[in-house]
Chains A and B, each alone.
Chain A
């Protein structure tokens, strides 16, 4: 009788499972619109040219080694990341009211923030509110950290645009002082972002109800192609005097995915609070990972701190975001040209890597079975998986299932 006999089999991760199925599919016409990683026009992973340059620089630097980073992380990364998120002349940064700790990408940042909030949130029973829908791992992260998790309305499933009234109503109806997870830009999975005016309205309600904002920023520069525009919401909240957390990832915008490069930023009211907040975040991080991964941080830090490389990086991001925009518009146009029933404007209006197509579970299954097209069962496609070689095929496939499968 094994010691472990009573431990049950756990369910497989649905998104990663999709990837496994797609990889195993031998069909030459298969289209992978599942996992959220950028692909070039040939459907291949793309290591950014500027990342190649930075890597080569590190490889030829005689001072390069593998020593431990400080607990807070690599200063070149954390300093550069602060300037990137909050802006180069951010008063919050200049007032020394921001503490940044390096993390294991965005997931690590979300988790460190979640554990920190569990220990220090006020009121002690404040729940964490996530958008309906949101990235699959959000609920798991905050529950694992011990919070109660609730939802606020977000996606209008009929228009496939923002349900701003529902969102504001839910935030207003919540007890005072709750924690609200907000996607800074390029909402995952819907691609639906509030406008500048809507962000103001959201900030008004957050202020009124004394809610605490926890921004998840995984696509800065990747959404509109402009890093300042994509940071608008965060900077708005900071300028309005909010204290907040930002979980930042360089997985997509620098293509560093597997190197696990990210940061958690804490913005406080006063620099007096920074020694306490930083010491607690450091302590938490020390007990989970000791220190974060060095290599990706050095690559990102090199890019962020060198004006030439930084400028080149902005160009690489524009290349990614414009290819994605081109594919959005192309898909929409082709569906319109095919006369596919329904409105398809949402495909080009939504922003970032993902599009919430509005396809039903049955239609998604049919796409997989008949057309070897892989997308998650909520109808989310990773637009990065579309390219000039497969867009016609994809449009026709969608047209077919919309007409013939309910």
Chain B
């Protein structure tokens, strides 16, 4: 309790005159831009119609429409609780057991790159992009622009700009085919100044779901190497795209094996381990040799310390347990495949139902695309109608989170989409 003298002081102060400055310090702070996805969630929450669907959410849902805590994760948590571990600070670069296992998952357990990797645990994928951006801003002075595919994840531009980098784009998605515009992509990447920073989605492109085929990746790799660009891979869906972790990392590994272009990687366990809110990720740089990667890591630490000192404990411990415990790892890979399969199943069901309804349009892209998201090709006016008339919510770029589709609502979704597209 406060002493009476102290309480008197506080009372007197409260009665004292307000500071001379009458204008608030914050008077010139403008309203920040509204978050598009948040807006959809709010509208969805307000909607009372029982058929309502939220297809904006970027988190996996079960066939009952519920969040999913993976069995392997639950077991890992039980094991950890039983161990009674302390909560001491992690080193700046995080839990070594986690980063080692994570690097093996990404690069392949027998990759020679592992011997010369500078890797740090990060605040999930966003944090990894931030550290990567900060590193390039400080040490890649020749080219300070990051080139993103059109379109890309909404937060990419914001993260890189806040690092002090410029942001520009290369063509990627073809609205006509709802697939990849490879020719345009190669042309644009070839035209960039040598040594540009090119951001590549390793698999399950967000928001379009359009991934290059292995042959197309070879062509992309050739151009990136030819122009000596920095390949900045963003891998947020390893295992989640095809159901196979090695297959999903193939493009990344090919670039690394070739060794002709510098590679940096942002890795997230938000989706493939369902660890979303625990913020589990890594950022890594493939160096020339072990000595170099030590040197690079020393610089990465300098970047991390003022941002957040050291990364969070809980999620990294869970991920480390899952990755290094053979039983849990097997169980985990099985669950990731199940999640990927359910999503592929919903894609198939949606497309079939639309075709059954006699839709004149082609819906092949629904099953050609991969991962959590589908770029339906729906126009903003059609998206608005889906919300107003059918209580189905998605972002105005026509992006659907396939994870939000279940066997009980896929027919309703198909009928509604058919309704707004048939004219």
Interface residues in chain A, defined as those with a beta carbon under 8 Å from any beta carbon in chain B: 2-5, 7-13, 16, 35, 37, 45-47, 51, 55-56, 59, 64-69, 71, 104-105, 107-108, 111, 115, 120-122, 137, 140-141, 143-145, 196, 200, 203, 207, 210, 212, 226, 228-229, 232, 235-236, 239-243, 251, 255-260, 266, 268-270, 273, 275-277, 279-280, 282-284, 286-296
Can you give 21 A-B contacts (C-beta < 8 A)? A2-B287, A4-B285, A9-B298, A11-B298, A67-B59, A67-B277, A68-B276, A104-B309, A143-B306, A226-B1, A228-B1, A229-B2, A229-B6, A239-B13, A259-B312, A260-B310, A273-B26, A282-B35, A288-B130, A293-B279, A294-B277
Tell me if A67 and B29 are in contact (CB < 8 A): no
Determine the chain B residues whose CB is within 8 A of the CB of A71 once the complex forms. Answer: 35, 38
For B315, give its contact among A11, A229, A293 (CB under 8 Å).
A293
Least distance between B281 CB and chain A CB atoms (Å)? 10
Do residues A236 and B13 form an inter-chain contact, with CB atoms below 8 A?
yes
In this complex, how many residues of chain B approach chain A with their Cβ under 8 Å: the count is: 84
Contact between A104 and B123, CB atoms less than 8 A apart: yes
B275 within 8 A of A: yes
- Distance (whole angstroms) from the CB of A252 to the closest CB of chain B: 11
Ranked 7 nearest A-B pairs via Cβ: A294-B277, A279-B32, A258-B313, A2-B288, A295-B314, A104-B308, A293-B312
Q: Determine whether the beta carbon of A276 is less than 8 Å from that of B262.
A: no
B77 surroundings in chain A (CB, below 8 A)? 59
Bound-state Cα–Cα, A5 to B289, Å: 11
B155 at interface (Cβ–Cβ under 8 A)?
yes
A283 and B33 form a contact (CB under 8 A): yes
Does B324 have its Cβ within 8 Å of any Cβ on chain A?
A: no
Q: Which of B115-131 contact A (CB under 8 A)?
A: 123-124, 126-127, 130
Tell me the complex Cα distance, A279–B155, Å. Answer: 15
Question: In whole angstroms, how far apart are the Cα atoms of A273 and B23 in the complex?
Answer: 11
The yes or no answer to B207 lying at the interface (CB within 8 A) is: no
Complex alpha-carbon distance, A56 and B77, angstroms: 11
| B residues in contact with A236, CB < 8 Å | 9-10, 13
A142 to chain B, nearest CB (A): 9
- By a CB distance below 8 angstroms, the chain A residues around B348 are none
Residues of chain A lying within 8 A (CB to CB) of residue B29: 120, 273, 276-277, 280
Considering the chains assembled together, what is the distance between the CA atoms of A12 and B299 in angstroms? 10
A341 CB to nearest B CB, Å: 36
Whether A105 contacts B277 in the complex (CB less than 8 A), given A9-B298, A37-B88, A279-B31, comes out as: no
Chain A residues closer than 8 Å to B130, beta-carbon distance: 287-289
Given A232-B6, A243-B24, residue A255 in contact with residue B262 (CB < 8 A): no
User: Measured between alpha carbons, how far is A354 from B124 in the docked complex, in Å?
Assistant: 33
Chain B 206-224: CB-based contact to A (< 8 A → 1; otherwise 0): 0000000000000000000
Decide: A260 and B313 in contact? CB cutoff 8 A. yes
B302 touching A10 by the CB < 8 A rule?
yes
Question: Are B59 and A4 neighbours in the complex by a CB distance under 8 Å?
Answer: no
Residues of B within 8 A of A287 (CB): 126, 130, 155, 158-159, 161-162
Contact A295 B315 (CB under 8 A): yes
Interface residues of B in 216-261 (CB under 8 A from A): 230
For the A-B complex with A104-B307, A284-B162 known, give 17 more contacts whose Cβ atoms are closer than 8 Å: A2-B289, A4-B292, A5-B288, A10-B302, A16-B92, A71-B35, A71-B38, A104-B308, A137-B305, A196-B6, A241-B19, A243-B25, A259-B314, A266-B26, A276-B32, A287-B155, A290-B127
Decide: B24 and A268 in contact? CB cutoff 8 A: yes
Contacts of A296 in B (CB 8 A): 312-314
Kindly list chain A residues whose C-beta atoms are within 8 Å of the C-beta of B5: 196
**Please, which residues of chain B bring their CB within 8 A of the CB of A7?**
139, 295-296, 299
Partner of B299, one of A10, A16, A51: A10
How far, in Å, is A211 (CB) from chain B's closest CB? 10
B residues 153-182 near A (Cβ < 8 Å) are 155, 158-159, 161-162
Q: Flag if A141 contacts B314 (CB, 8 Å).
A: no
A235's contact among B10, B21, B31, by CB below 8 Å, is which? B10
Is B88 a contact of A241 with CB atoms below 8 Å?
A: no
Residues of B within 8 A of A279 (CB): 31-34
Task: Assess the A291–B277 pair: CB atoms within 8 A.
Answer: yes
B28 interface hit (Cβ, 8 Å): yes
B32 and A293 contact, CB distance less than 8 A: no
Residue of B nearest to A242 (CB): B19
Of the candidates A137, A141, A260, A266, the one whose C-beta lies within 8 Å of that of B312 is A260
Q: How far is the CA of A47 from the CA of B83 in the complex (A)?
A: 13
Report if A137-B309 is in contact (Cβ < 8 Å); known contacts: A12-B298, A242-B19, A288-B130. yes
Min CB–CB distance A111 → chain B (angstroms): 6
Cβ of B87 under 8 Å from chain A = yes
Contacts known (A47-B86, A105-B309, A257-B87); A268 close to B6, Cβ less than 8 A: no
B90, B92, B305 — most chain A CB neighbours (10 Å): B305
- In angstroms, how far is the closest chain B Cβ from the Cβ of A109? 10
Instruction: Judge whether B312 and A258 touch: CB under 8 Å.
Output: yes
**Chain B contacts of A210 at CB under 8 A?**
19-21
- Give B198 Cβ to nearest chain A Cβ, in Å: 14
Name the residue on A nearest B123 (C-beta): A289
A269 to B23, CA, bound (A): 9
A268-B306 in contact given A228-B1, A232-B6, A260-B313 (Cβ < 8 Å): no
Closest to B299 in A: A10
Q: With A269-B24, A288-B307 in contact, is A293–B314 under 8 Å at CB?
A: yes
* Contact residues, B75-128 vs A (CB, 8 A): 77-78, 81, 84, 86-92, 123-124, 126-127
In angstroms, Cα B14 to Cα A203, docked, is 13
Cross-interface CB contact of B305 among A115, A140, A207, cutoff 8 Å: A140
**Which B residues touch A105, using CB under 8 A?**
308-309
User: Which of the residues A140, A212, A243, A280 comes within 8 Å of B306, measured between beta carbons?
Assistant: A140
Residues of B contacting A141 with CB < 8 Å? 306
- Taking CB atoms, residues of chain B closer than 8 Å to A258 are 87-90, 310, 312-313
Whole-angstrom distance from the CB of B131 to the nearest CB of chain A? 10
**Complex contacts, A55 vs chain B, CB 8 Å:** 81
Q: Does B73 contact A (CB under 8 A)?
A: yes
Pairwise interchain contact A66-B69, C-beta atoms closer than 8 A: yes
Closest to B154 in A: A286
Pick from A8, A66, A107, A282 the residue with the most CB of B within 10 Å. A66
Contacts of B92 in A (CB 8 A): 13, 16
A241 to chain B minimum Cβ distance, whole angstroms, is: 4
* Contact indicator A286/B275 (Cβ below 8 Å): no
Verify A207–B287 contact, CB threshold 8 A: no
Chain A residues lying within 8 Å of B371, measured Cβ to Cβ, are: none
> Nearest Cβ in chain B — how far from A128, in angstroms?
13
A9: which B residues are within 8 A, CB to CB? 294-295, 298
Instruction: List chain B residues, Cβ under 8 A from A243.
Output: 24-26
Q: How far is the CA of A208 from the CA of B328 in the complex (A)?
A: 63
With known contacts A241-B19, A255-B87, A288-B127, A4–B262 Cβ distance under 8 A: yes
Would A240 and B13 count as touching, CB distance under 8 A? yes
Minimum Cβ distance to chain B for residue A238 (Å)? 9
